[in-house]
Amino acid sequence: MVARWGKPETKDEGDMKNMVRKIASALGVVAMSASMAGAQVGSIAATCGVATIADTDVCYSTQFSFDGVTFSNEVFKVFSNATASYELRFAGQPTTTVSGVPFSFIDYGTVTASGTSSASLNLSGQQVWMRIIQSSPTTGTGDVGGLFGGTISGTASQAFINWNNPDRFEVIGPVTYEVERFGQGFTSINAPSTGAQTIRGAVVNSVVPEPSTYMLLATGMGALGLVARRRRTNV
């Protein structure tokens, strides 16, 4: 015969204990997921847009094209906790980094404009695409695109990439290496007097948990408090 010490556990108490264990386990998973997301996820930001990528040491190739003209690949690495900018120059101008070190550039090619009276390139309504190809640690490809508006000339003009209808895509692999989307807004391309055109963007980190994470944590904590109050009432 097995001796029991103290008051025997009732069925209600056993049910409450099981509920507490399940909620605590779920909270642990949510907290761990939020921690992993905050540590691993960074973003590429245009003037008014965001695309999320992993901020670990991963190699990507990027390709820009519009109006039938495709630029050669851009190869870069994104380092953990990196903050940097990049600059894309047209009209044969060299490509350089604005700040930071996470980007290493290869020739984009040259976009030239021709005309009898003035050098201009009509981009109104033309599509522009960015292709991200992940090669390590897993492989995958995603495309995002937008529309140009206006005309670029060698004297003075302005054009825009419209990202108001972003595409969502993912690479093949764990969620920590997910490429989510190129966000809403636009990037302006200003034509200086030299005729060089630019597209600018930046790499920043994103460590804020999703709203759904906060909701799950709040719901779980509320349930734990309810169980604790109920148990004190039954004692």
pLDDT tens, 11-31?
A: 666 666 665 555 544 444 333
Other Cβ atoms closer than 10 A to 1: 3
Name the H helices within the chain: 11-40, 211-234
Output the pTM of the full model: 0.24
Quick check: bond before 174 cis, omega within 30? no
pLDDT tens, 187-221?
A: 333 333 333 333 333 333 333 344 444 454 455 45
Closest CA to 142 of 62, 45, 54: 62
Looking at per-residue pLDDT, the higher value among 13 and 151 belongs to 13
